[in-house]
Chains A and B, each alone.
Chain A
Amino acid sequence: MQRRTLMKAALTAVSLIALQATSALAENPVLKIGFVGVTSGPAASWGISNQRSMETRAAWINETGGYEIGDTTYDIEIVSFDDQKDPKRAIAGMEKMAQEGIHYVVGPNVDDGAAAVRPVAESNGIMYFPYAFPKSLYEAPASNAVLGMVANYQSGPAIYKYLMEEKGVKTVAFIAANESDPLSQRDGGVAAATALGLEVVSDNVTYQVDTTDFTPVLTPVMRSRPDLLVLSGVSPANAPQLIRSARELGFQGVISTETAQDSGVLTEGAGDLANGFISVGGASTPELASPMMNEFVDRYTKMFGEYNDESNTKVYALEYILETLKADPTALTDVDAFQATMDTFEAPNPYMNGDATLRYVGMSSFGQKRQVAVPLVVNVYQDGKFETLFVAEVD
């Protein structure tokens, strides 16, 4: 009897809390923004930093009264789907977004997932912001994908050129995981390095995605004695192990990658052996970060216990979507209007000091504006943190 009473009381309490939460949410109409990406497995870090960045920003907006688009103030709700880095799951995720009437989706995180969802997105009027590099996603006739970061064929040449001029690098070796993203990034890197006049001494060594010990994998690469070792498309989980194994095998040259990494992960996984490691940073540095960026970092840390440096880039996609919708409220349900607005859109960049702006770029790489403008920050890891090597812009 007592147990039944207790259960009734608990049920009532839960119902009341649920009602309260519903009524709190019901104060503003809800604008749903989707996320389809990888939040499990070895590459989980990429997607989770996306999802958490969006959730942090959405909670922040909702806490401060909502986001005004046209005459209406919206609460933002993030609808997430873990595609497990599987293209079939990514399609299912995008279909789910279509069923929920969502027109703006962040993700997927990898090439094959982004390519797979294209028909679903284009036929259902969904604009999506992948973190994948194939140019075919962004060049006409493709219309609905917007690259959410700087691509490797944009950052790679800048890094190689810097290393040739500043460090006297003459030979380069590439190593990549045996899956589509890293392999295509490796091929792009080899082409860029060759075009710059670097001698490619090794480019055919690959490793299984689930490799945990890289010493046997790296041994033949080290025999080629390169000046520069490029970890093409390396995931944050694998980067410290690769660096550690390369250094333990006696490699003295420079190690670099064109993907974003996390300093904490490098510190734990490779320690001082990671000193000098060059990577494309999140689109923020202490010098660039505005007070709003710093508050975002604080809020993210409070919400999830630990910040992820990759979110310095991942913070932008949601902001671009909302600001573009604010610029043209008809785009809420009409992605053609969104696309038309992209050509002329410009708004202050709240995450950067100075007079930086949010705007769409990509004319040089894709022939149309299908890329968010975020600074190309190239970092070098030194004693537990990233230091900015140089900052550049992409058009």
Chain B
Amino acid sequence: MEQILANGVYLGSQYAMIALGLTLIFALMNVLNFAHGQMYVIGGFVTYTFYGQWGVPFILALVMSCVTLAILGALIERFLFAPVIKGSAREESTMLLAAGIAFFLDAVILLFFGEKQRGVPKIVDGVFNYDFRLIMPYDRILICVLAILSIVAFIGLMQYTKTGRALRALAQDRTAAQLMGVNVDRYSMIGFALGAMLAGLVGGLLVTITGVNLGMGGPTSIKAFMMVMIGGAGVISGAIWGGIILGFMEAIGLALLYQYGDITYLLIFVSLMIFLAIRPQGLMGKPWG
């Protein structure tokens, strides 16, 4: 039981971080960013390059992941999404653009980082072992704590800073925010950069545990979408709850259902379908969007 709880908290915290950036971008711009997983992968590769290859301290490498992805996100918003949103009222235009960016980033990743699985040295050695009832490597505990701290910091930023208030206003009502003097273009770019930065941050954190490879982008995006659907699209607290719920469902399923084969995700998908049929807006979402 202790192991299930620990795995649930660990998986939930990392999943919540992955979903946060995606839901932020959706809330601000109504864009389903299919390239979110690829941004996560790039974040992992940047940390891999700085920390794993060049021996830069891990925290600095993590900062580099955040900065790189923030810049990349800002550029993508300014030169790709902003013109498309202005020029097309059809939502599928941005969806197609996001899918195109995902394919493009996959190609870029292959070109610069190759096809192989990459990993970095452990940031902390050793394993916490409580009588074989609870086993958790120290690096996972550290990453879990860092992920939770990052989520708290993000919530703090959104709640208590001018930028956060502007972003929330933008998410609630774009026109009203503009009438109240919020520079919509500027804050859209900042919001997208922040979402991409979160993807980079979690990629950089998790490369120490899971490593990183070219193929992780697509599945990561799918998981992030699942969490956002559970929690409610565009709702920050929803993304966090979505991540935690998915993490616990996975931990419980893997621990209790293994003798029946790989049915954990089958059950998760079935539960998700039933849940969405009853509550299509997700846990925290509003039916009107």
Residues of A within 8 A of B (CB): 39-45, 48, 178, 204-210, 212-213, 215-217, 219-220, 236-238, 240-241, 248-250, 262, 264-265, 268-271, 304-306, 308
Q: How far is the CB of B145 from chain A (nearest CB, A)?
A: 16
**Smallest Cβ-Cβ distance to A207: which chain B residue:** B262
Q: Kindly list chain B residues whose C-beta atoms are within 8 Å of the C-beta of A264.
A: 116
Q: How large is the interface on B (under 10, 10 to 19, 20 to 34, 35 or more residues)?
A: 35 or more
Count of CB-CB pairs between chains A and B under 8 Å: 117
Given contacts A213-B11, A271-B122, A308-B116, contact A204 B261 (CB under 8 A): yes
Q: How far is the CB of B274 from chain A (nearest CB, A)?
A: 21
Q: Which residues of A contact B104 (CB under 8 A)?
A: none
Check if B261 sits within 8 Å of A213, measured CB to CB: no
Instruction: Encode contact with A along B114-128: 1 for CB under 8 Å, 0 otherwise.
Output: 111111111000010
A212 near B261 (CB under 8 angstroms)? no
Q: Which B residue's beta carbon lies closest to that of A212? A: B210
CB-defined interface of B1-37 with A at 8 Å, one 1/0 digit per residue? 0010001001100000000000000000000000000
| Complex A-B, nearest 5 residue pairs according to Cβ-Cβ distance, in ascending order | A210-B219, A269-B119, A212-B210, A41-B215, A42-B215
- Report whether A237 and B258 are in contact in the complex, using a CB–CB cutoff of 8 Å: no
Partner of B116, one of A219, A248, A262: A262
- Could you name 21 residue pairs across A and B whose Cβ atoms are closer than 8 Å? A42-B215, A44-B214, A206-B262, A207-B262, A208-B262, A210-B215, A210-B223, A213-B10, A213-B11, A219-B3, A219-B7, A219-B255, A237-B116, A237-B215, A248-B137, A249-B135, A250-B127, A265-B119, A268-B118, A268-B211, A271-B121
Give bound CA distance, A374 to B118, whole Å: 29
Contact with A along B245-289 (1 / 0, CB 8 A): 000001100110011111001000000000000000000000000
The reply on B160 being an interface residue by CB < 8 A is no
Task: Report the minimal beta-carbon distance from B244 to chain A, rounded to whole angstroms.
Answer: 15
B residues at A contact (CB < 8 Å): 3, 7, 10-11, 52, 106, 110, 114-122, 127, 129, 132, 135-137, 140, 206, 209-211, 213-216, 218-220, 223, 250-251, 254-255, 258-262, 265
Within the assembled complex, what's the spacing in Å between the Cα atoms of A217 and B7?
Answer: 10
Query: A265-B118, A265-B119 provided; 6 other pairs, C-beta below 8 A?
Result: A41-B215, A219-B3, A237-B213, A248-B135, A250-B132, A268-B52
Closest chain A CB from B58 CB (angstroms)? 15
Contact of A270 among B3, B119, B135 (CB under 8 A): B119
Question: Interface on chain B toward A: helix, strand, loop, or mixed SS?
Answer: helix
Which A residues are CB-close (under 8 A) to B127? 248-250
Query: Which of B52, B119, B209, B260 counts the most A-chain CB atoms under 10 A from its CB?
Result: B119
Given A219-B255, A220-B255, A250-B132, A212 and B120 contact (CB-CB distance below 8 Å): no
Report the nearest B residue to A38, measured CB to CB: B215
B116 near A210: Cβ-Cβ < 8 Å = no
Which chain A residue has the least Cβ–Cβ distance from B103?
Answer: A40
- Contact present for A217 and B254 (CB under 8 Å): yes
B206 pairs with A212, CB closer than 8 A: yes
**Nearest-CB distance from B199 to chain A (Å)?**
15
Give the complex CA separation of A41 and B259 in angstroms.
28
Q: Which of B52, B119, B137, B258 contacts A205 (CB 8 A)?
A: B258
Q: Indicate if the CB atoms of B255 and A241 lie closer than 8 Å.
A: no
**Contact residues in A for B261 (Cβ distance below 8 Å):** 178, 204, 206
Chain A residues lying within 8 Å of B214, measured Cβ to Cβ, are 40-41, 44
In the complex, the answer to whether A268 meets B215 with C-beta atoms within 8 Å is no
Contacts A213-B209, A236-B117 known; A44 to B215 CB distance under 8 Å? Answer: yes
Q: How far is the CA of A73 from the CA of B249 in the complex (A)?
A: 62
List A contacts of B7 (CB < 8 A): 215-216, 219
B10: chain A residues at CB < 8 Å are: 213
* Shortest distance from the beta carbon of B269 to any chain A beta carbon, whole Å: 11
Q: Beyond A40-B106, A42-B216, A236-B116, is A241–B211 a contact (Cβ under 8 Å)?
A: yes
Q: How far is the CB of B266 from chain A (nearest CB, A)?
A: 10
Closest to A178 in B: B262
* Cβ-defined contact, A45 with B254, below 8 A: no
Q: Which of B11, B118, B129 touches A216 (beta carbons < 8 Å)?
A: B11
Residues of B within 8 A of A249 (CB): 127, 135
C-alpha spacing A220/B132, complex, angstroms: 12
Cα distance A44–B107 in the bound complex, in angstroms: 12
